[in-house]
A = this chain, B = another copy of it.
Amino acid sequence: MIKKLAITGGTHGNELTGVYLVKKWKRYPELLKRRNFKTLCLHTNEQSIKEVRRYIDQDLNRSFKSRDLSDESLETHEAKLAKKLNALLGPKGSDTPNVDFIVDLHTTTANMGLSIVVSNESALTWKAIAYLCQMEPALKVYRWQGDEEGAFVDSMAPHGFAIEVGAVPQGVLRADLFLQTEALIYHLLDFFEKFNEGEHFTYDKRLEIYDHQKLVDYPRDSEGDITAMVHEKRQDKDFTLITSGEPIFLMLSGETVCYEGEPYYTIFINEAAYYEKGFAMCLAKKVQIEIEI
């Protein structure tokens, strides 16, 4: 039984789908009303939304490590904001959190389609994901163990995940992806309504997901500047396999760099925000997992 769900948008202020979905639902709150739980809907980083920037001082979606939340010496805009949000929506790790489930709304410049990025192993989280995959067969699920673990907005609650939708540029609202994200949220709310009523779900226990393996950085010079681009044959090929010998980068000099290694699925290819984080794409395995129903 869940009592309270939070939908968070604008964790990155230049990802407008979440920013404007939250604005829409604040104007039309009846769209989120369900019989047996409450939904809180909020902007997490008002200042970055105002400036249409990913963040002010540091990435808010990497600011929820337990040790950072208890470190009073951290002075950045987002470190302080994380503590406020944790008081409102967490506290993280609590047995009596203010919110049971957080769904955090993101967009990406990578051609990810409609996807879920999940770092939570709770049975309820995966049950919800399995339901969504049944309702939206094009939905992809990426189990992330990326650059930093346990530091996402959704980690404040015992259950939750992020929705990633793309390709959409930073600072742009695309109607098609806005509508897809909106529809997915209504399915999620429907799931919890049924779950709270004790409905027996009949969907397939096996779920195909993409399991994070490693990060691949751009070729860089001694000063850290990139010296290559994602190769045009790899661009936009998110959730497809790359095998040894296939082009992965195009050097500024014009040479093609080919991938060498185990075959993996490429994800988050050429995401704008990851140039500074130091990766050009993620590599994942496709695996079948079993859901507890």
Given known A-B contacts A27-B252, A252-B27, A272 and B176 have beta carbons under 8 A apart? no
B residues near A278, Cβ cutoff 8 Å: none
> Could you say which of A164-172, A190-198, A206-214 contacts chain B?
A164-172
Contact of A252 among B20, B170, B276 (CB under 8 A): B20
The main secondary structure of chain A at its interface with chain B is loop
B residues near A52, Cβ cutoff 8 Å: 275-276
A17 to chain B, nearest CB (A): 10
A 1-27 binary contact with B (CB < 8 Å = 1; else 0): 000000000000000000010011001
Does B230 lie within 8 Å of A175, measured CB to CB?
Answer: yes
A260 at the interface (CB under 8 A from B): no
Give complex CA distance A176, B226 in Å.
17
Contact of A170 among B167, B176, B225, B272 (CB under 8 A): B272
Which chain A residues (227-245) contact chain B, with CB distance < 8 Å?
Answer: 229-232, 235
Given known A-B contacts A178-B229, A179-B232, A229-B178, A272 and B172 have beta carbons under 8 A apart? yes
Which chain A residues (259-277) contact chain B, with CB distance < 8 Å?
Answer: 270, 272-273, 275-276
Q: So how many copies of this chain end up in the complex?
A: 2
B residues near A275, Cβ cutoff 8 Å: 52, 171
Give complex CA distance A52, B109 in Å.
15
- Chain A interface category by residue count: 35 or more
A 250-293 binary contact with B (CB < 8 Å = 1; else 0): 10110000000000000000101101100000000000000000
Contact of A235 among B174, B230, B273 (CB under 8 A): B174
Does B175 lie within 8 Å of A235, measured CB to CB?
Answer: yes
B residues near A253, Cβ cutoff 8 Å: 24, 27-28
A155 to chain B, nearest CB (A): 26
B residues near A273, Cβ cutoff 8 Å: 171
A188 at the interface (CB under 8 A from B): no
A85 at the interface (CB under 8 A from B): no
B residues near A250, Cβ cutoff 8 Å: 175
Q: Which residues of A contact B (CB under 8 A)?
A: 20, 23-24, 27-28, 52-53, 109, 167-176, 178-179, 225-226, 229-232, 235, 250, 252-253, 270, 272-273, 275-276
8 pairs, A vs B, C-beta closer than 8 Å: A23-B252, A24-B252, A170-B170, A173-B229, A174-B230, A174-B235, A175-B235, A176-B232
New contact pairs (12) apart from A27-B253, A171-B272, CB-CB < 8 Å:
A169-B170, A169-B272, A170-B272, A171-B275, A172-B270, A173-B226, A173-B230, A175-B229, A175-B250, A176-B232, A176-B235, A178-B229
